[in-house]
Structures are given as structure tokens and as C-alpha cells.
């Protein structure tokens, strides 16, 4: 698979890179960003996946997440995929919460989305092999995290692959998309109207069926304008009872990257504990 470096920036001794490649899974060109910490003494480097939210690209976290210093200290590579397939030939919607920029990290089954919107397969099959090849001294240890729609994606992908991801964390995740407007709109369009088909893409349904789950850490701002309607935690925490889930409310913090930057060190320390 051919990958092209678009840009490289020195950061905290490491490098923040941006790449472009053609995705066979999504049938379009894709970009992703990758932070590589400074390589010293052939230390093994573990990998964290960051999944961004609605309307975002890989640039949001790379430029606003304030994570590079801590990732470098902990010898962590961090990969940031885009949030959907892109291009003039890719189906889109006039709304900001559907179509390009709003892939919801699933495999669409309905037209016109089914051809390109296979973000789950892209992130679990195609892109990993490319990313692994770019990490010097890769430890083969991984964790996953995300924000909002990306928090939903991190939980769903993480819970579906407990053998691969050692820990999961999220900022303001959509925890029960089958029961909230964002998720209901996306799932109806991408998966069809039958709610039975939605369960495998809903973190609340998935964790309820798990005998056990990886350690999970969730941070939610109390001043988040989307919290009450889109991000309520009650059903998820009830389904996760007995699992290793830590849920914290951040007094006065909102849905923005200011919140993420304020608590990203805590999240990376959480993952480092399980990545070794």
C-alpha cells in the first residue's frame, strides 16, 4: 500500500506527521495523522488510536489536543484517522451530523452509503497494517480513545476487540446512540429502520452482553450543551455494572477541545498503566 507524507512537524522531540493514501475499503483517498515519539535506546513504542467527533478531521486532535508532550514522555504513538470517507464521488448529506464528517465508525448497509461508508472495516482491517509499518519498535500493544461520536466509536470498536485493545477511554461519548437523536438519525440512514440492526453498534448494548470488558475511563463535562439530550450515561452505566468502568463528571467543563486539552494527560496516564 502506497502512503504519501503530506507534512511533518517537530514536537516535544518527536514528529507530528500527516499522510495520504488510497483506501480500497472506502474506495476513496484518505488522510490520517500520526504522532511518533522520539526514539531513544530502542524503547518499544505502544499505539493509541484517537477517534474524533462530528464535523472533525484528523487535524482537530493533532492541533488542539495538547497530547504530544505526554505521548512523548510515555513513549506512545498516537494515530488520528479521519471521521469518514471523503471526496466528490462519496455520498454526502446537507446536514452536519450525517455523511462526510459523520461516519459513525460503522459499516453502512443502506444506499447510497454502503459503497463508501465502511469505517469499521477500515479502522479494524486496512488502516492498522499501514500504521503498524510506520512505527519504529512497535510493541504490538494498543489502546483506543475518542471524543463525542469518536467516543462512541472507541467504545464500540474497543468492546468488539478486547483481544486487541488493552484499555478504552472517551471524552463526552455518545453512549447509547440507539436512544438519542444523533444516533437515531445516523443509524436509520446507514443501517435502515430496523432497530435490531443497531444493537451491534451501540456501546450500551455491547457492554451489557460482555462477560468482562477492558478497563474503561470516561470524562464528561457538566457544562456540555449536548449532555442532557445526546450524551446521558444512565443506561450505559447500568448495563456496565460490575465492569471496570470509571465515569467522572468535570464540573463546569464543556464539549470543546479546551476540555480535552485540560484532561488529556490523565487519559494517557490511564492507558499507559495497561500498555506497560
Give the phi and the psi of residue 188 in degrees, each rounded to 5.
Answer: -60, -45
- Judged against a pLDDT cut of 80, whether residue 120 lies above it is answered with yes
What pLDDT is attached to residue 85?
Answer: 98
170-205 confidence digits (pLDDT tens): 999 999 999 999 999 999 999 999 999 999 999 999
Average of per-residue pLDDT values in the chain: 97
pLDDT tens per residue, range 144-177: 999 999 999 999 999 999 999 999 999 999 999 9
Task: Please report the pLDDT score of residue 57 as a whole number.
Answer: 98
pLDDT band at 211 (very low <50, low <70, confident <90, very high): confident
The catalytic residue positions are: 148, 224, 255
Which pLDDT band holds residue 39 (cuts at 50, 70, 90)? confident
- Cell 437523536, residue? 181
Q: What pLDDT is recorded for position 1?
A: 72
Mean pLDDT of 34-41: 91
Spatial neighbors of 61 by CB under 8 A, at least 6 apart, are: 33, 50, 52, 67, 80, 147, 257, 260
**What are the extents of the domains in the chain?**
3-267
266-275, pLDDT tens digit by residue?
999 999 999 9
Contacts of 186 (CB under 8 A, 6+ apart): 97, 98, 102, 104, 177
Q: Could you tell me which CATH class the domain 3-267 is placed in?
A: alpha beta
Determine the Cα–Cα distance for residues 227 and 168; give it in Å rounded to an integer.
20
Q: Average of pLDDT values for 258-266?
A: 98
Query: What's the rounded mean pLDDT across residues 67-90?
Result: 97
Q: According to the model, what pLDDT value does residue 110 have?
A: 98
pLDDT at 174: 98
At residue 203, the pLDDT reads: 98
pTM, full prediction: 0.97
Residue 154's pLDDT is what?
Answer: 98
CA-to-CA distance for 133 and 129, rounded, in angstroms?
A: 6
Determine the pLDDT at residue 212. 82
- Cα–Cα distance, 126 to 142 (Å, whole number): 16
**170 contacts 218 by C-beta, under 8 angstroms:** yes
- Structure confidence at residue 223 as a pLDDT band (50, 70, 90): very high
40 has a pLDDT exceeding 90: no
pLDDT surpassing 90 at residue 54:
yes
Amino acid at each position: 500500500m502506497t502512503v504519501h507524507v503530506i507534512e511533518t512537524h517537530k514536537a516535544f522531540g518527536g514528529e507530528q506527521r500527516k499522510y495520504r493514501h488510497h483506501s480500497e475499503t472506502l474506495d476513496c483517498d484518505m488522510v490520517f495523522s500520526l504522532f511518533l515519539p522520539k526514539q531513544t535506546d530502542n524503547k518499544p513504542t505502544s499505539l493509541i488510536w484517537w477517534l474524533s467527533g462530528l464535523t472533525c478531521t484528523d487535524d482537530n486532535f493533532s492541533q488542539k489536543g495538547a497530547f504530544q508532550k505526554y505521548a512523548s514522555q510515555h513513549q506512545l504513538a498516537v494515530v488520528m484517522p479521519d471521521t469518514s470517507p471523503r471526496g466528490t464521488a462519496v455520498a454526502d448529506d446537507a446536514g452536519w451530523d450525517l455523511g462526510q464528517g459523520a461516519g459513525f465508525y460503522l459499516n453502512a448497509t443502506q444506499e447510497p452509503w454502503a459503497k463508501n461508508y465502511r469505517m469499521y472495516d477500515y479502522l479494524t482491517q486496512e488502516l492498522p497494517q499501514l500504521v503498524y509499518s510506520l512505527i519504529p519498535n512497535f510493541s504490538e500493544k494498543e489502546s483506543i480513545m475518542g471524543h463525542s461520536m469518536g467516543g462512541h466509536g472507541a467504545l464500540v470498536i474497543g468492546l468488539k476487540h478486547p483481544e486487541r485493545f488493552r484499555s478504552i477511554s472517551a471524552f463526552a461519548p455518545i453512549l447509547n446512540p440507539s436512544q438519542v437523536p444523533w444516533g437515531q438519525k445516523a443509524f436509520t440512514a446507514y443501517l435502515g429502520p430496523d432497530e435490531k440492526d443497531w444493537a451491534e453498534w451501540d456501546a450500551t448494548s455491547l457492554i451489557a452482553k460482555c462477560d468482562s470488558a477492558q478497563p474503561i475511563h470516561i470524562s464528561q463535562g457538566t457544562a456540555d450543551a449536548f449532555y442532557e439530550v445526546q450524551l446521558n450515561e444512565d443506561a450505559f452505566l447500568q448495563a456496565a455494572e460490575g465492569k471496570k468502568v470509571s465515569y467522572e463528571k468535570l464540573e463546569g467543563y464543556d464539549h470543546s477541545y479546551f476540555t480535552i486539552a485540560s484532561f488529556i494527560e490523565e487519559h494517557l496516564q490511564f492507558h499507559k498503566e495497561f500498555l506497560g
